């Protein structure tokens, strides 16, 4: 299994923004009309599934969160603080 790629804040922000839009649409009852997942930063493929957390327990101690894109299988980690900042940013930007 490949080592996950570390995302910088600049790489993380658009992913978090896309996830936030999806979550918001889901809460509003969008069902199958959800906005798409963000493209994989490595290969540009549009994922059918994006898993977060859990996969890399070793990173838990340094406050890193894992992302796994499926089906391409690329994995990434992001710093917990960057994730929080990106989420707050997405929340402020959203209409
Ligand atoms: Zn990929």
The 3-state DSSP class for residue 55 equals: coil
Domain that holds residue 88: 5-28+35-93
Residue 33 CB coordination number (10 Å): 7
C-alpha–C-alpha distance, residues 35 and 37, integer Å: 7
State the burial class of residue 5 (Cβ atoms within 10 Å of its Cβ: 0-12, 13-18, 19+). middle
- In this prediction the pTM is 0.81
CA of 26 to the centre of ligand 1 (A): 24
CA of 5 to the centre of ligand 1 (A): 11
C-alpha–C-alpha distance, residues 60 and 41, integer Å: 22
Number of folded domains in the chain?
A: 1
* 95 residues of the chain, pLDDT tens digit each: 568 899 999 999 999 999 999 989 999 998 778 888 999 999 999 999 988 765 555 555 567 888 899 999 999 999 989 999 999 999 998 66
């Amino acid at each position: 299994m490949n080592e996950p790629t570390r995302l910088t804040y600049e790489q993380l922000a658009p992913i978090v923004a896309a996830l936030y839009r999806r979550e918001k649409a889901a809460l509003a009852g969008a069902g199958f009309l959800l906005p798409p997942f963000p493209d994989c930063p490595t290969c540009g493929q549009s994922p059918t599934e994006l898993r977060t957390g859990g996969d890399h327990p070793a990173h838990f101690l340094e406050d890193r969160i894992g992302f796994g894109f499926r089906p391409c299988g690329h994995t990434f980690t992001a710093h917990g603080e960057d994730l929080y900042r990106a989420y707050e940013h997405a929340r402020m930007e959203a209409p």
